[in-house]
Structure 1
Amino acid sequence: MDRSRADGRTGDSLSRGLSAGVPADQATVRRSNLALVLRHVSASGPCSRSAVALATGLNKTTVTSLVSELQARGLVMETGPQHAGSVGRPSVALALDGSRVGALGVEVNVDYIAAIATDLAGRVLVDRRVGFDAMGSSPERSLDELALVVEKTLADLDRLGVTPAGVTVAIPGLIDTITGTVVVAPNLGWHGVAVAERLSQAGIRPDIPIVVDNDANLAALAEYTSGSEAGTSDLVYLTGEVGVGGGVISGGRLLGGADGFAGEVGHILVDPAGEPCRCGRVGCWETKVGLAALVRMATPDRAYGMGRQVVRDPEERLAEIEQRRAEGDPRVDAAIVEVGRWLGLGASVLVNLFNPRVIVLGGYFARLADRLIPAARQELARLGMTGAAERCRFVASDLGFGAAARGAAGVVVERALSDPTAISIRHPLPSG
């Protein structure tokens, strides 16, 4: 496969920045300065060119040139005069644009495929989720459906006049991010699946970078950048799906591990005499707290794998559980308390290891947080290290089941901010 599709780079990245013949080191410096200015405008705008120069340490002439190029690429726009109370002519304010540049994040999970497309300012342009039985389908069939969702969403962006800067795919499993290959995804039954290569063969334009990463890591990034606990430098995100994954933010950085496989918390052994896990082991944490475990206890007649069933979105399963609870079915409350207890037990391990300030509950955990958290907190207090456990809070995510897809889109945005030359020039650069 073309490895540049997987790692988001292209062989002609230097030639996009400046005209042919400019030495590579100069192109590299200019690309770095473009990113520096763009990030400042993104974080601090609206701001004047003078303010950008002061904050970045670049001279005003250089900033003016860089801003002109960012405008030509459709990344920065002028918003009008900026009145700061000073005497004299008001300066012209700059702000992040990117309204015509899109970022697509896609997630494949056990029973759905989700896609979220944003512009570079993070405004959601497309948000779709389709029910799909990935657990009961072959990898080939799942990749066909994934390609279809990606193609439809890219077509939506095209109709909006938005050019995609890249696609990031979130998968619940161990990912080789260099090649875009799923090493293993136990709940999907995938082993050695070349996702990036398959999408590159599906008619997606070769100039659109394709990246594949772990769903929990991407969701954790979304929480850190735009969730209810955004900016918390030490947090753990738990996916709350059929499988349970974790993304760990430590000191403001995503913890990846030596091979990028950190965060597979769902396969921590918690009960040696417990249920078999799809990873091949017994008693993994996700067999106690995953959505399949809750469904098995609360609505055993609707358990995953019970005969041939219509594909059901997780929201539909939760709605049925809520309905049965409203009807007085005692199994529902008992199941939620049991899941909460095991949730707290596993959380105590994470608190003892990573000392987070917040554990963000995503997926179905967030939906049932008001009933899960009391039981989880009680177990955490019993088993967690004194002090660390007391200072750690459980918080429900407000990003819903779309957190991984949103985080995936955010990776595309981050890449564009880091290398503005990856975005094609839309308007002629001023002469001279």
Structure 2
Amino acid sequence: MPFRRYGQDVTGGEGAVRALRTGGATPARQAQLREHNLGIVLGEILHSPGPISRADISGRTGLTRTTVSALVDQLLQAGMVAELPVVRSRTAGRPAVPLIPATGTIAAVGLEVNVDYLGVRVLDLAGEVIAERVVPGDHRRREPAEVLGALADLFAATVYPLSKREIPLAGACVALPGLIDSGTGPLRIAPNLHWSGVDVVALLAGQPALHDVPIRIANEATLGAQAENAALRGADVQSFLYVSGEIGIGGAIVLDRRLWAGSRGWGGEIGHTTVDPTGPECGCGSTGCLEMFAGKDALMSAAGLDRDLPVDALVAAATAGRKAATRAIEDAGRALGIALSGALNLLDVDTVVLGGLYAPLTDLLVPAVQEQLSRRVLAHPFAPVTIRPAVVTDHAALTGAARSVLDEVLADPSTWISRAG
């Protein structure tokens, strides 16, 4: 494969912060501080809703203009940011040169194994999609090696053409529907795939297409929440509970704009919250889980629809007044409301974001969900919870997976500057 693996020795900002606290000026601490500041400046450019000037960055970060200019010059030379035409000021002073993330540079790959599809999405440093493929298929009970081999083939078909454009590859992150030990695995359990104890990273690294690519894995709902959190950066939403409905139901918690996944990274498994102990047996081995009432298979079957149809068919049936579809959505909303009530009583967040198949169903689900919240959430009379559809609705986990790779670049921009040099 034409791509080479580049180091991701992320040192983070702690060393730089310690250097600031101690006032140390050793070469090592100066290097840490410079790397820390590079990440800050690059982050301001990447996360700005529009073009941003050097003066803007200086004002937002507290770094001197001289420092910002020197760091921006390094990022420009490495091809990580780009300048737009000069903006002439109406007042006295130097004209501003707007800065934006460079497009078509540094490919970050998001991969996903879901029950009914495989996906690949490639983002550049500007967050733009530069390549993607999603292939439907039923992966229930298929052997992990077989499915991951197909994913590697899909990766090759999607990513190889980028080598002709000489776009360097930062790495890949795989979204999976289950419990994962942070970063490298293994995948502990994915009930709807019927997988357990799978070393996903090793199986993928053994594929010729991926053996030189840095790979990490993460839960698909956690990555979907990461994509949603980035999309809501300009909105007044600081904390929210993210719930993504597919065949399974995943969740994630964002507190003060930071993802909270629990002490082992296993938080958010709201799909396996018991809403009726006497209910049907779930693939996880328990009974009466939320997925058994509000997952896609349960919804479509209760509505009298083929489970392989898209959710648009359920929306159309309910909108047309078909009683089975309306009742299925009401029952799912009731179950979802019960599960959310327990979570909201514990978490005290003011917003619930519905993603996956729930996004287009939000308006139909909300009445039944809110009825349960009003009865079961103690704080509801004083601070009603806002329920909103997700902004990122097109395979959010793929976007979140690719963005997690970009975050690693952001944490260690000096690696890419060294490469460019």
TM-score, normalised to structure 1's length?
0.84
Contact 1:380 1:389 in 2 (8 A): no
2:283 alignment partner in structure 1: 278
2:123 alignment partner in structure 1: 118
String of CA shifts for 1:193-224, please: whole Å, max 9, x gaps: 11122222222466642111111111111111
Q: Helix, strand or coil for the counterpart of 1:170?
A: strand
Label 1:417 to 1:291 Cα distance change in 2 as closer, same or farther (>3 A). same
2:22 alignment partner in structure 1: none
| Aligned amino acid, residue 403 of structure 1 | A
Label 1:88 to 1:338 Cα distance change in 2 as closer, same or farther (>3 A). closer
1:351 alignment partner in structure 2: 344
Give the one of 320, 326, 331 matched to 2:324: 331
Cα distance in 2 for partners of 1:277, 1:368 equals: 23
Contact 2:205 2:212 in 1 (8 A): no
Contact 2:152 2:210 in 1 (8 A): no
Q: Helix, strand or coil for the counterpart of 1:381?
A: helix
Aligned length: 402
| Aligned amino acid, residue 68 of structure 1 | D
1:211 alignment partner in structure 2: 216
2:157 alignment partner in structure 1: 152
Contact 1:110 1:242 in 2 (8 A): yes
Give the one of 367, 388, 399 matched to 1:374: 367
CA shift for structure 1 position 249: 0.7
2:8 alignment partner in structure 1: 9
Give the one of 32, 37, 41 matched to 1:33: 37
Unaligned runs of 5+ in 1: 14-21, 304-311
Label 1:367 to 1:46 Cα distance change in 2 as closer, same or farther (>3 A). closer
Contact 1:358 1:393 in 2 (8 A): yes
Q: Helix, strand or coil for the counterpart of 2:86?
A: strand
CA shift for structure 1 position 47: 3.9
2:399 alignment partner in structure 1: 406
Deviates more, 1:238-247 or 1:78-87: 78-87
Q: Helix, strand or coil for the counterpart of 2:84?
A: strand
Contact 2:10 2:411 in 1 (8 A): no
CA shift for structure 1 position 67: 2.2
Cα distance in 1 for partners of 2:58, 2:227 equals: 30
String of CA shifts for 1:36-82, please: whole Å, max 9, x gaps: 22123334563444554454444455434322221222112222323
Contact 1:165 1:423 in 2 (8 A): no
Q: Helix, strand or coil for the counterpart of 1:85?
A: coil
Cα distance in 1 for partners of 2:9, 2:204 equals: 17
Contact 2:104 2:130 in 1 (8 A): no
CA shift for structure 1 position 143: 0.9
2:71 alignment partner in structure 1: 66
String of CA shifts for 1:220-261, please: whole Å, max 9, x gaps: 111111159855111011110111111111222211111111
2:376 alignment partner in structure 1: 383
CA shift for structure 1 position 23: 5.6
Cα distance in 2 for partners of 1:255, 1:388 equals: 27
CA shift for structure 1 position 400: 2.0
| Aligned amino acid, residue 99 of structure 1 | G
Deviates more, 1:203-212 or 1:66-75: 203-212
CA shift for structure 1 position 422: 3.3
Aligned residue runs from structure 1 range 32-431, under 5 A: 32-44=36-48, 46-53=51-58, 55-87=60-92, 89-204=94-209, 208-227=213-232, 230=235, 232-299=237-304, 302=306, 312=308, 316-322=309-315, 329-387=322-380, 390-423=383-416, 425=418, 427-428=420-421
Cα distance in 2 for partners of 1:274, 1:12 equals: 48
Cα distance in 2 for partners of 1:423, 1:260 equals: 29
Cα distance in 2 for partners of 1:218, 1:422 equals: 24
Label 1:148 to 1:85 Cα distance change in 2 as closer, same or farther (>3 A). same
String of CA shifts for 1:261-307, please: whole Å, max 9, x gaps: 1111111111111000000111111111111111221227x45xxxx
Contact 1:104 1:116 in 2 (8 A): yes
String of CA shifts for 1:353-393, please: whole Å, max 9, x gaps: 11222111111111222211111111221222143785211
Contact 2:245 2:296 in 1 (8 A): yes
CA shift for structure 1 position 26: 4.0
Cα distance in 1 for partners of 2:316, 2:61 equals: 57
Cα distance in 2 for partners of 1:393, 1:52 equals: 33
Q: Helix, strand or coil for the counterpart of 2:184?
A: coil
CA shift for structure 1 position 135: 1.2
Cα distance in 2 for partners of 1:325, 1:345 equals: 22
Cα distance in 2 for partners of 1:362, 1:91 equals: 40
Q: Helix, strand or coil for the counterpart of 2:162?
A: helix
Cα distance in 2 for partners of 1:103, 1:229 equals: 23
| Aligned amino acid, residue 145 of structure 1 | A
| Aligned amino acid, residue 414 of structure 2 | T
Alignment root-mean-square deviation, CA: 2.9
Q: Helix, strand or coil for the counterpart of 1:361?
A: strand
Label 1:377 to 1:38 Cα distance change in 2 as closer, same or farther (>3 A). same
Q: Helix, strand or coil for the counterpart of 2:338?
A: helix
Cα distance in 2 for partners of 1:427, 1:80 equals: 24
Contact 1:107 1:171 in 2 (8 A): yes
CA shift for structure 1 position 342: 1.0
Cα distance in 2 for partners of 1:149, 1:10 equals: 28
Cα distance in 2 for partners of 1:228, 1:53 equals: 20
Q: Helix, strand or coil for the counterpart of 1:140?
A: helix
Cα distance in 1 for partners of 2:321, 2:402 equals: 41
